[in-house]
Amino acid sequence: MRLSWRDLGMPRADRAHGKAVEISGFPATILPTPTADHFLMMAEPGCCADCVPNNPLAVVEIVADRPLKLGNGAVRLSGTWQVSVDPDGWRYQLHAAEVMPGISRRAVLAASPLFCLPVPAMAQTDGTAVDLHSHGGNLIKASYGRDSLLDVATPMRNGGMSTICLCIVGDGPVLNVSSGRIRPSRDPKPGELYDASKIQFAKLHELIRSQSMAIVRTAADLRAARASQPSVIVTSEGADWLDGKIERLDEAYRRWQLRQLQLTHYRPNELGDIQTEPSVHGGLTDFGAEVIRRCNAMGIVVDVAHGTFDLVKRAVATTTKPMILSHTALSDRPYPWTRLITSDHARAIASIRGVIGIWPVTQVANVAAYAESIARMVDVVGVDHVGIGTDQLGLQGPSAMPSYADLPQLAAALSSRFKPAEISKLLGGNYRRVFETCIA
Ligand SMILES: [Zn+2]
Ligand SMILES: [Zn+2]
């Protein structure tokens, strides 16, 4: 029988126990790897490395008798379905898994040398593009001493990306990898996430210094930003390190030049609910509303990515400035625990003159599919409310635009549908408008 992700958590999935089934999804391996015999699969490509929804109904554990070839993007698997009652294990497992034909697993579009690009495509990036959400430079792993920083400034210069919103991860320490499984392990200890935020912010500043990048502190800084000297907007994905203390926002603004804050991540925190877990607060909390008002007053861009639609509704009613939703895509029929958003969710962001950053997460990982995903969102909210949020080096699965050096290719792909002035808005102009309104 063929199982769908909508069956998970329903009697149909339980009845399939012990039966031969087929299911399609996105493998989540700890490291990019061509083959694997034990991995997790999700309905959609995952967000940030080390982050998988901890809801067991959103994940299938795959166990194969021999290493399976994992292509680029979705795979269709067959195997024997097992429903586990082990409270510490994943609920659903596929044993003796085999890859089935039927889903294209084309290789990542090779990064063409820049001299192959049509000249107009290069011109369209105009060197002022902004990425609304990035972990570029290998910041996540480097912060935890698991790897070193990578060069992000050179591909930015080569591709025409002037500025990236570079993120620390607020709840990173409690999202854990152990024995082939990625799971949130526990509640944070008192002060743990605050301490971890300081280590990550310090590493972020080390990256900026060591690669001679600039920090965007003011609207004038962003106006002046060009890819010839790449720059960073200091950002946090998750405000977990506030621990409910509003004064830490002022501290982060001064000490770390924080200018963008995503309220929630993969842990329902003191600010509100997330898309990948059951609701705890009914949306945005009173503290979450207080943080938005303080961000409005201080000049920090608020990002409601990962938040539930209920959180977004109250955030929209609270804020006096435009907000962003930095990394997502449109879904007409959202899966349970999805990170994608519906048209109504998207229109709520547009209603306060905000911007939605589109993920390079596509069925086939290439810039043409990425451009289509951007165009789909433009069809819903208009060309003034869409941008790009690459989540570079934060994605579990393959990226349709793995390097900033590929940006001219994206511009070229967009040019079949949009005029140069519109492409300029999508690649950074819309975000710059939001930033200038928030930071003024
Ligand atoms: Zn994320
Ligand atoms: Zn991220």
Q: Smallest Cα–Cα separation from 315: which of 273, 372, 253, 280?
A: 273
Which ligand is the nearest neighbour of the Cα of 391? 2
237 CA → ligand 1 middle, Å: 7
pLDDT, position 104: 45
Measure 81 CA to ligand 2 centroid, in angstroms.
Answer: 32
More confident residue, 353 or 46: 353
Ligand nearest the Cα of residue 45 is 1
Query: What are the counts of helices (DSSP H) followed by strands (DSSP E) for the chain?
Result: 14, 16
**DSSP character at residue 412:** H
| Nearest-angstrom CA–CA distance, 83 and 28 | 20
Q: Going by CATH, does the domain composed of 5-100 fall within 2.40.50.870?
A: yes
- Nearest ligand (C-alpha, residue 135): 2
Q: What is the pLDDT of residue 175?
A: 82
Q: Is 80 exceeded by the pLDDT of residue 434?
A: yes
430 CA to centre of own chain: 19
Looking at residue 177, its pLDDT comes to: 58
Distance of CA 120 from the midpoint of ligand 1 (Å)? 33
For residue 237, how far is its CA from the centre of ligand 2 (angstroms)? 6
CA of 101 to the centre of ligand 1 (A): 31
Residue 137 falls in which region: left (phi positive, over 0), alpha (psi -120 to 50) or beta: left
Handedness of CA 135, 140, 141, 147 (dihedral sign): positive
- What is the rounded average pLDDT for all residues in the chain? 88
**C-alpha 273 to ligand 2 mean position (Å):** 17
Closest ligand to 47 CA? 1
Alpha helices (H) in 126-191, listed in sequence order: 139-143, 153-159
Q: What is the mean pLDDT of residues 137-161?
A: 94
- Cα distances from 83 to residues 1, 38, 61, 199, 389, in angstroms, run 15, 17, 10, 40, 36
Tally of residues, the chain = 440
Cα–ligand 1 centroid distance for 391 (angstroms): 7
Q: Hey, how many other C-beta atoms are within 10 angstroms of the C-beta on 440?
A: 10
Contact of 326 with 304, CB cutoff 8 Å: no
pLDDT for 183 equals 53
Task: Break the chain into its structural domains and give their ranges.
Answer: 5-100, 114-439
d(CA 136, CA 211): 12
| Per-residue pLDDT tens over the stretch 98-126 | 998 765 433 223 222 333 344 444 555 78
Condensed to tens digits (0 to 9), the pLDDT of residues 186-203 reads: 899 999 999 999 999 999
User: What spacing in Å lies between the alpha carbon of 48 and ligand 2's midpoint?
Assistant: 5
pLDDT-wise least confident of 85-94, 201-210, 377-386: 85-94
- C-alpha of residue 171 to centroid of ligand 2, in Å: 11
* Separation of CA 329 and ligand 2 centre (Å): 14
CATH class, range 114-439? alpha beta
Q: Which ligand ends up closest to the CA of 393?
A: 2
Closest ligand (CA of 266):
1
pLDDT tens for 314-334 read 999 999 999 999 999 999 888
265-312 pLDDT per residue, tens: 998 999 999 998 889 999 999 999 999 999 999 999 999 999 999 999
Helix, strand, or coil (residue 399): coil
Predicted pLDDT at 106:
37
Closest Cα partner for 327 from 437, 164, 106, 201?
Answer: 164
